[in-house]
Amino acid sequence: MERTILSAALSTFLGVSTLSGLASVCPAPVPLAPSPKSEGGWQLLDPVTYENITLFPVVASFNQDTSPFLTLDEGLSTGDVIVSEQGATGLIRNRDPRYLGPPVPMPQYNTAASVNQLVLINRSKRPVLLLAGELVSGGKQDRIIAKDRIVAPGADPLPLDVFCVEHGRWTGSSSQFAASKTIVHPSVREKAAVDQEQTEVWSAVRGGTTAAAPPAAPKARMSKESITAAISTEARTEAYEKIYESRAVGVSIDSFVEELQRRFAKSVALNGERKMPVVGVIVAYGGEVAWSDIFASSDLFNHYWNKLLRSYAVEALARPTLREVASRDNAQEFLRRLNGREVQESEPGVYRWLEITEGKLTQIELDALQPRQLTLHRLLLRRTS
């Protein structure tokens, strides 16, 4: 009797019922399709739309401590970081007025300058964070950083991979580079970070955008023709900053950025009661979600935000003026982790760089390995080619 009761209880627990001496298994319920899971406890705030661009602020359930890291702009501004042409020699003085030590000799890393390689020295006590697309101005040509990476403090002079965004000039009064507080717009960043081709980078600078226009799409406000005109009249060396700060492109980039900034700040303020730090943004042009930059902390996001916003605005002005608005569900897709081919690079004890490709999407992560493992920056983009 006890064995019969135990058997019946066990059958009920396993989803098995006994009927007429025959066991029948209850069919399992069909699971609902799961919604894309956020990778880092991220959530989206209400979208901010202006003209043909939509920004989805990304907030996090927690805020990481990124104070141990130094950004490139900060390091160049204080003189703690030196970026120079290869083959440069001489004494380098720290521009920080608090520095009372002697000038530091600049090592001769190579005998000749190179278009696609500079030399970086980190003299600070903190690791330096570099993002693909950050612009350094000076030397023989303005350049952009080729890949996200971290440079350890006290490291030997580093051969730094870069791309030129100033086609034509190869002279300069100084071999040193200064912070430009500029990051190139997504079409150029994509060619640097993903395609890794100098000719593609130049083409994206001249063309404004690499995104294909739909049939009969409205004309872009910053046309390829207006950029060409700016090059021929004001920036014969195709200097990135000169082209996109020029009035010859026919639009006011500053007013576009100011309006986007105002709307973004208002949206974030309205969600202030949630007390979740803003750590990134997802960007859509027309109805297409195209780009995202997410950081480990609100401090890092705030540091890069102004120049990132300007870069997104330049891309919007170079794309057709499509007024469709991207859906929140499509933006949510940019918070999930891709599942595809992976490529990794690393420097033991310093950083890991990971690229994942899934269809037209590419995800790039930069992990710091010291003082603890931490994803400092996550880029996800929809490739235009």
Question: Confidence band (pLDDT; 50, 70, 90) for 321?
Answer: confident
pLDDT at 197 over 50: yes
Instruction: Identify the pLDDT of residue 334.
Output: 97
Q: Is residue 29's pLDDT more than 50?
A: no
pLDDT reading at 8 higher than 60:
no
**Which pLDDT band holds residue 264 (cuts at 50, 70, 90)?**
very high
The 3-class secondary structure across the chain, one letter per residue, is CHHHHHHHHHHHHCCEEEECCEEEECCCCCCCCCCCCCCCCEEECCCEEECCEEEEEEEECCCCCCCCCEEHHHHHHHCCEEEEECCCCEEECCCCCCCCCCCEEECCCCCCCECCEEEEEECCCCCEEECCCEEEEECCCCEEECCCEEECCCCCCEEEEEEECECCCCCCCCCEEEEEEEECCHHHHHHHHHHCCHHHHHHHHHHCCCCCCCCCCCCECCCHHHHHHHHHHHCCCCEHHHHHHCHHHCCCHHHHHHHHHHHHHHHHHHCHHHCCCEEEEEEEECCEEEEEEEECCHHHHHHHHHHHHHHHHHHHHHCECCCCCCCHHHHHHHHCCCCCEEEEEEECCCEEEEEEEECCEEEEEEEECCCCCEEEEEEEEECCC
For the stretch 54-93, pLDDT in tens is 999 999 988 999 999 999 999 999 999 999 998 764 434 4
The fraction of the chain above a pLDDT of 90, given in percent, is 57
Mean pLDDT of the chain: 83
Q: pLDDT class for 94, splitting at 50, 70, 90?
A: very low
**Among the listed ranges 187-191, 317-321, 329-333, which one has the minimum average pLDDT value?**
317-321
pLDDT at 87 (0 to 100):
73
12 pLDDT band (50/70/90 cuts)?
very low
Q: Would you state the pLDDT for residue 243?
A: 81
Q: Using one digit for the tens of pLDDT, what is the confidence trace for 269-304?
A: 887 666 789 999 999 999 999 999 999 999 999 999
